[in-house]
Structure 1
């Protein structure tokens, strides 16, 4: 018969029930079989802090104190007695079943013991919590992304009582939650090196519980996690596990979610094994936070234009289906990029829009670029000044934009026409100077000059001036009446005459 998923206090304390202790090692460096990048990412980044902050305290004893390492080693080497030893829980058929079988009284007992033995070391408490949960919640492994489950799985399955236990302990351990978050990810990565490794539900639950209240914890070391991703491109399961863990911050806070996406997902966009999750995460993030104002200020030109290229440039490293999905998200990304005050920001986007608008640009991208540049000119007057500075080095692009403005003349505002008039006159002078350099002047100069002349012609003859004619008629009528009154003295005098 298969293993039984136990419940109740009979299962015994985790630390004694298996050669694999439920209490994770107190230092990351003690965990066996480190991943290849541990020296770079974890040991160098966290080991010093761990040595300083994460020393387990020796519980008070009547016997003379011994060095902690020896005492800890002695505990580890101690063979469990027949009375204490429990049976390692077998895998349940589902995580729901494993959670129902979890003995909360036994969990609380273990946590109380941890806090009494190490009263001033909360890092031990939270690691005992994660180790206990992961040891007990052995259910079939899911894919690293949990793609077939809701975004808050597995935490959504946790009972109210267990959530209260977790939150209470995390609240008393607030000073070490950043290190605890790193520890959970690191331990998950190590389990992925084992065959077969344990399922990771306990660590996932702890990660979600931490980031639900402290989402900023996920974004404190994004650079180091990006190195993990780059070093393990050939290990998709590890990379996706890291992305999943960091991405949990976004479901509580759009600002932090965008920070995660821009920091670790945009840089790996184009990697075949990671791109689908990066796009799917962005889609879900924007769907869960329809109020985009909370994300203003996160996307600037440096991040926006790679996204534009991925969305519109053909034959890039994204497959067509993902490119189409990103293109559907692009309008919302554009709103985020332009921010709350586009009238003061769009001139910073204009140069990159202009440089991309070449004659050989794909039609879909060309349309988006010309529309965006028109938007820049309409909303941010400084865009005209920027355009004048860039004109001579971007003649072919400028000819396309001038032609576009000519074609959309009827829909342009009076304010834009006034600003454009000054700019076009400046361009006309520049065109004459460029043409004077010789008969072999660039054909782009000729194209720009033709568009400028046509725009100036439209500006001069903007249709019959009905408003001016009406004003003249009103003035003439008023003058005639005034003259008539003075001649006859009054309307009555005129009538008597």
Structure 2
């Protein structure tokens, strides 16, 4: 235990040394190698001191070469541990996604993280994490370029697929929770809510694609009422889109 604590401290010191030496124009390849080796053996080092790491990132975020190098180091643990990578992305990458010099790298890291762990049995996403990711991404994407926003939504789709693959028989619970969120949030003032458009589209697409299976478990009266209610919402949505020339 003491040895690990010492190594963790050494990891933090090396992170700071990486940034400081880069600011002086010195070579930092040795720092990179050490950080990579430590993160491979102890992935949790990358998220063990989130407050300190965020402070270090903030200190150098106006110097992109250093800021990007720090993000690279923060993300090394995620190459071997999905939960570590996801935590690093949410706490250290996502807060600066709207900064022009970092947007593309932040999205690329999430793509790499999801692609590397999609088929692994130890990759788990809870329902709370799924909803939280929906909210996080939809709160951020509107301030990105159209291309980057589309790339981010693509990663959300990958994330959603991981949840569905690993969720087993819990889909009914997820369905109910999403439906509870829809009525009061479907339209947000004079703007359309892409979160709910995506959510409801996903639900009905899943039902349509798996009709032979899900039809046996559906209550027809409830389904009919749901479809009629959704039809009304879609009508309102269509009218709103026309008024807004979307």
Normalization by structure 2: what TM-score? 0.73
Aligned counterparts of 1:346 and 1:329: Cα–Cα separation in 2: 21
Q: Helix, strand or coil for the counterpart of 1:294? A: coil
Where do 1:9-88 residues align within 5 Å?
Answer: none
Q: Identify the match of residue 270 of structure 1 among 92, 98, 122.
A: 98
Q: Which residue of 2 aligns with 1:372?
A: 202
Normalization by structure 1: what TM-score? 0.39
In 1, are the aligned partners of 2:130 and 2:160 still within 8 Å (CA)? no
CA drift at 1:375: 7.1
Aligned counterparts of 1:301 and 1:229: Cα–Cα separation in 2: 27
Deviations 1:109-142 (A, max 9, x none): xxxxxxxxxxxxxxxxxxxxxxxxxxxxxxxxxx
CA drift at 1:207: 0.6
In 2, are the aligned partners of 1:304 and 1:337 still within 8 Å (CA)? no
In 1, are the aligned partners of 2:79 and 2:85 still within 8 Å (CA)? yes
Q: Which residue of 2 aligns with 1:413?
A: 215
Quick check: 1:348 aligned with 2:177? yes
Quick check: 1:357 aligned with 2:186? yes
Q: Helix, strand or coil for the counterpart of 2:122? A: helix
Q: Which residue of 2 aligns with 1:179?
A: 9
Quick check: 1:191 aligned with 2:21? yes
Aligned counterparts of 2:61 and 2:124: Cα–Cα separation in 1: 31
Where do 1:69-468 residues align within 5 Å?
Answer: 173-194=3-24, 197-291=25-119, 293-297=121-125, 299-308=129-138, 310=140, 316-337=142-163, 339-340=166-167, 341-358=170-187, 360-361=191-192, 367-374=197-204, 413=215, 415-418=217-220, 420=222
Gapped regions of structure 2 (runs ≥ 5): 236-246
Gapped regions of structure 1 (runs ≥ 5): 1-52, 54-172, 379-404, 429-446, 451-497
CA drift at 1:231: 4.5
Q: Helix, strand or coil for the counterpart of 2:192? A: coil
- Larger gyration radius, structure 1 or structure 2: 1
| Superposition RMSD in Å | 3.5
Aligned counterparts of 2:178 and 2:196: Cα–Cα separation in 1: 15
User: When you count helix as a share of all residues, which structure comes out higher?
Assistant: 2
Cα 1:256–1:353, aligned 2, differ >3 Å: closer, same or farther? farther
Q: Which residue of 1 aligns with 2:238?
A: none
Q: Helix, strand or coil for the counterpart of 1:295? A: coil
CA drift at 1:227: 3.1
CA drift at 1:319: 1.4
